[in-house]
DNA sequence: CTGTTAGCGCGTTCAT
DNA sequence: ATGAACGCGCTAACAG
């Protein structure tokens, strides 16, 4: 099925058929009517690949995330999709599995014009993938990381101010009277974790609270891990702390499970603030004070910048989101 | 950038260049080396649209879901992606927003060869979209609905046995001694809801428990709605029931919130079973007995059947998943 | 082993 | 208003 078949059937030329079907260019009413009729009869459907080849546009965007099974990205996926959908683009999800190789594979698809642009949440953003993106010279947006940007770069950044986010969380506890605050975070080699630790330090210094590296506990953002780490900590240390910040709600759940077991009450024995402000934060008891990183907005802003690129913007830009602290029972005085 | 440019630059013919780059067909070592070298220098990338046009294959699958912001589909998305990814396909998510129009739009993309196949979770499956899918005569899989299937159809079905699922839930409560069981479900016009109600009836009849339509409460699967509906119910009725089945975990949370407020204890005052077996079920107190519909498997099986189609299977098939009941505190004796 | 040539299906320019 | 002809970039059949 193609416009050639329709041309043969109707006796008109291919170009007349093409004009009739696309609606652009001249075509008499009568011929158009016949052509549309025949197209319907023959169940004609335009071939998208041919269109893409001709018009150099796919109407597709790839959204790459490090872990497709991590609910953390669910809101971001929605945010990215929301605006793209409004503009007639379809979002493709690409699971990069925290592998540089997969990220490069995805960037290669951009180079091959498999899509019109990409939005990438990089796991460990390095010169390698930034340069690969530069080489494509095609529209791209990077979420949640910031490495380096030149005015003529073909990509934009949207990122969270993780330092500020942790400052909010820590300062909140200090202002509620906490003097010794435990920090649960991810591996320090990850940019996010190290930035957050930085924010924690900033506040302690500001209030002249001594820094004790032994109360910075590294986990992996999972509930079970936080449970084990905290349990082990309590075995070897007295409950002389009065605050805890966990780097996500799941870790907070792990901490609370331990508390339940050993009879520690939150917020009576210590106050707790976590990150991500997921549904859990509102459902669990006590309700969790939590930092909202606005993942939906992050995704939506990312797609907004990408759409601008697709519409012709050429100078590189970036956008920083400000986190919000939602105060609930777990940090009540 | 194209193989023509490389041909011009190297002085070889297009076909030699094509053979060298694709790796198929004959090409001498020396020429191949030069060609690859020049391709790299010129930053050559094959054009995917041209490839698609030629080979009639996109390596893309569209997965259509009724609500992208409903976490219920999150696991299904992962399931669909898992197998496709292994086979080199990229999954595109298409939000049909419970609109027939959007579903038809998506089916049209299949007809246009925008993708190699589709997997569709239809909101309200009708003759209209089944026929639209038939007309494309291209690979498709329908999840979670079953209308009608002919041996030569171009689509397959994977679905949950919702009747059986509700039978499991209801019978579990009966066996734990419940005599009067409230049912919270969705709108009865939806296939899923009516099937579940059917399962509920089946069990009551089996055990000679009288059916009382006043204790079948229709909600919309959201926590807030269940909260309001249950609160209103308690205002007008005594607590003379001893069991509740809610059609998802979110509704169960709404019910439990009301219980907290008015001082009803679960499972002491009544036993509760819900559906979906989400993370919530394990985190909330009491932990929820819940029916697992195996959404991940549903998605994965769907993509499996689609891949079979893509590999040449032509006879229609279907697959039914058996639900599993996880028993936890909320229905303990 | 290599080169010529012919599509794939569409959009578009350029005559008429 | 209409049609002939070309090009987008790649693959593959065919001849040499």
Q: Tell me whether residues B53 and A58 touch, CB distance under 8 A.
A: no
**Closest CB from B50, B78, B81 relative to A53:** B50
Cα dihedral B2, B7, B10, B12 sign: positive
- Strands B181-185, B243-246: pairing kind: parallel
Q: How far is CA A257 from CA A228, A264, B112, B285, in A?
A: 10, 10, 53, 11
pLDDT of amino acid B126:
86
**Which of A112-116, A228-232, B6-10, B143-147 shows the lowest per-residue confidence on average (mean pLDDT)?**
B143-147
Q: What percent of chain B stands above pLDDT 90? A: 89
Q: What is the pLDDT of residues B136-175, one digit of tens each?
A: 999 999 998 888 899 999 999 999 999 999 999 999 999 9
Whether cis (ω within 30° of 0) applies to the bond prior to A33 is no
Measure the CA angle with vertex A279, ends A275 and A282; round to 5°: 85
User: Span A20-49, mean pLDDT?
Assistant: 93
Q: Alpha-carbon distance A288 to A255, whole Å? A: 12
Is residue A143 within a helix (H) or strand (E), and if so which, with residue range? Answer: strand A140-143
Q: What is the pLDDT of residues A63-78, one digit of tens each?
A: 999 999 988 899 999 9
Beta bridge mates, B91: A93, B61
Q: What is the pLDDT of residues A93-133, one digit of tens each?
A: 999 999 999 999 999 999 999 999 999 998 777 899 999 99
pLDDT above 90: residue B20: yes
The pair of three-digit structure tokens given for residue A138, joined into one six-digit string: 């095609």
**Closest CB from A91, A93, A113 relative to B81:** A93
Q: Tell me whether residues B111 and A50 touch, CB distance under 8 A.
A: no
Mutate to test the interface with B, among A1, A42, A48, A65 (most CBs of B within 10 A): A48
Q: What is the pLDDT of residues B253-275, one digit of tens each?
A: 999 999 999 999 999 999 999 99
Residue B241: how many other CB atoms lie within 10 Å: 18
Residue A313: how many other CB atoms lie within 10 Å: 14
Widest Cα–Cα separation across chain B: 90
- Chain A hits for B69, CB-CB cut-off 8 Å, are 78
The residue behind tokens 């926590």 is: B223
Nearest CA in chain A to B89: A94
- Alpha-carbon distance B139 to nearest alpha carbon in chain A (angstroms): 16
pLDDT of amino acid B317:
97
Q: Alpha-carbon distance B210 to A29, whole Å? A: 67
**Closest CB from A49, A92, A111 relative to B49:** A49
Q: Alpha-carbon distance A181 to A211, whole Å? A: 10
Q: How far is the CA of B22 from the C1' of C6 (A)?
A: 20
SS3 A176: coil
The pair of three-digit structure tokens given for residue B14, joined into one six-digit string: 């297009």
CA atoms within 13 A on the CB side of A80: 31
List all residues of chain A from 65 to 124 with a beta carbon under 8 Å from chain B.
68-69, 71, 74, 77-78, 81, 85, 90-95, 108-109, 111-114
Contact between the CB of B1 and strand D at under 7 Å: yes
Contact between the CB of A27 and strand D at under 7 Å: yes
Q: How far is the CA of B15 from the C1' of D14 (A)?
A: 12
The residue behind tokens 């036993």 is: B271
Q: Return mean pLDDT, chain A.
A: 95
Q: Alpha-carbon distance A31 to A6, whole Å? A: 12
Q: Tell me whether residues B48 and A81 touch, CB distance under 8 A.
A: no
Q: Which of A166, A165, A147, A167 has the alpha carbon at shortest distance from A157?
A: A147
**Closest CB from B49, B91, B283 relative to A52:** B49
pLDDT above 80: residue A327: yes
Tell me the Cα Rg of chain B.
26
Contact between the CB of A6 and strand D at under 7 Å: no
Q: What is the pLDDT of residues A287-306, one digit of tens each?
A: 999 999 999 999 999 999 99
Query: How many helices (H) does chain B have, and how many strands (E)?
Result: 13, 12
pLDDT above 80: residue B124: no
Mutate to test the interface with A, among B114, B137, B252, B288 (most CBs of A within 10 A): B114
Inter-chain Cβ pairs, chain A and chain B, closer than 8 A: 93
Q: What percent of chain A stands above pLDDT 70? A: 100
Q: Return mean pLDDT, chain B.
A: 95
Would you say B294 and B161 are in contact if contact means Cβ atoms under 8 Å apart?
no
The pair of three-digit structure tokens given for residue B277, joined into one six-digit string: 């077996």
pLDDT of amino acid B297:
98
Cα dihedral A181, A195, A289, A237 sign: negative
| Strand arrangement of the beta sheet that strand B318-321 belongs to | A318-321, A155-160, A140-143, A117-121, A60-65, A90-95, B90-95, B60-65, B117-121, B140-143, B155-160, B318-321
Q: What is the pLDDT of residues A10-31, one digit of tens each?
A: 999 999 999 999 988 899 999 9
pLDDT of amino acid B205:
97
Nearest CA in chain A to B115: A48
List all residues of chain A from 154 to 213 with a beta carbon under 8 Å from chain B.
none
Q: Tell me whether residues B77 and A62 touch, CB distance under 8 A.
A: no
Q: Alpha-carbon distance B232 to B235, whole Å? A: 5
Measure the CA angle with vertex B99, ends B98 and B100; round to 5°: 120
Q: Alpha-carbon distance A180 to A244, whole Å? A: 8
- Alpha-carbon distance B261 to nearest alpha carbon in chain A (angstroms): 14
Would you say B181 and B243 are in contact if contact means Cβ atoms under 8 Å apart?
yes
The pair phi, psi for residue A143, each rounded to 5°, is -105, 140
Q: How far is CA B91 from CA A49, A51, A235, B80, B161, in A?
A: 17, 21, 47, 8, 26
pLDDT above 90: residue B37: yes
pLDDT of amino acid B146:
85
- Alpha-carbon distance A44 to nearest alpha carbon in chain B (angstroms): 9
Q: Does A24 touch chain B (CB under 8 A)?
A: no
The pair of three-digit structure tokens given for residue B20, joined into one six-digit string: 């060298």
**Closest CB from B60, B78, B108 relative to A68:** B78
Q: How far is the CA of B10 from the C1' of D12 (A)?
A: 22
Q: Which of A108, A118, A111 has the alpha carbon at shortest distance from A139?
A: A118
Q: Alpha-carbon distance A31 to A70, whole Å? A: 55
pLDDT above 90: residue A192: no
Q: Alpha-carbon distance B15 to B4, whole Å? A: 9
Q: Alpha-carbon distance B267 to B146, whole Å? A: 36
Would you say A47 and A70 are in contact if contact means Cβ atoms under 8 Å apart?
no
SS3 B118: strand
**Strand C: which positions are within 7 A of a protein CB?**
1-13
Tell me the Cα Rg of chain A.
26
Task: Burial-class residue A183 by CB neighbours within 10 Å (0-12, 13-18, 19+).
Answer: buried
Beta bridge mates, B321: B160
Would you say A301 and A158 are in contact if contact means Cβ atoms under 8 Å apart?
yes
Strands (E), A235-293: 243-246, 271-275, 289-292
């Amino acid at each position: 099925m193609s416009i050639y078949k329709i041309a043969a059937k109707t006796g008109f030329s291919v170009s007349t058929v093409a004009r009739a079907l696309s609606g652009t260019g001249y075509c008499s009413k009568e011929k158009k009517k016949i052509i549309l009729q025949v197209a319907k009869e023959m169940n004609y459907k335009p071939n998208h690949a041919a269109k893409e080849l001709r018009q150099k546009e796919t109407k597709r965007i790839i959204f790459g995330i490090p872990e497709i099974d991590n609910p953390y990205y669910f809101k971001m996926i929605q945010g990215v999709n929301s605006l793209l959908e409004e503009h007639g683009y379809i979002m493709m999800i690409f699971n990069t599995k925290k592998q540089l190789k997969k990220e490069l594979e995805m960037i290669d698809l951009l180079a091959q014009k498999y899509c019109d642009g990409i939005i990438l949440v990089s796991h460990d953003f390095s010169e390698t993938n930034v340069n690969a993106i530069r080489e494509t010279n095609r529209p791209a947006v990077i979420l949640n990381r910031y490495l380096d940007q030149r005015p003529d770069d073909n990509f934009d950044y949207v990122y969270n101010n993780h330092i500020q986010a942790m400052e909010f969380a820590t300062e909140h506890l200090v202002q509620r009277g906490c003097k010794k605050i435990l920090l649960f975070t991810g591996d320090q080699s990850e940019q996010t974790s190290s930035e957050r630790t930085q924010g924690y330090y900033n506040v302690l210094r500001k209030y002249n609270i001594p820094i004790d590296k032994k109360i910075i506990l590294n986990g992996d953002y999972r509930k079970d891990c936080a449970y084990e780490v905290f349990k082990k900590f309590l075995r070897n240390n007295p409950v002389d702390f009065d605050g805890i910040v966990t780097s996500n709600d799941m870790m907070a759940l792990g901490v609370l499970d331990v508390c339940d077991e050993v009879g520690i009450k939150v917020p009576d024995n210590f106050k707790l603030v976590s990150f991500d402000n997921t549904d859990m934060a509102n459902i669990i008891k006590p309700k969790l004070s939590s930092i909202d990183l606005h993942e939906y907005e992050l995704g939506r802003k990312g797609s907004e910048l990408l759409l601008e690129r697709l519409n012709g913007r050429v100078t590189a830009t970036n956008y920083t989101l400000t986190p919000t602290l939602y105060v609930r029972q777990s940090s009540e005085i």
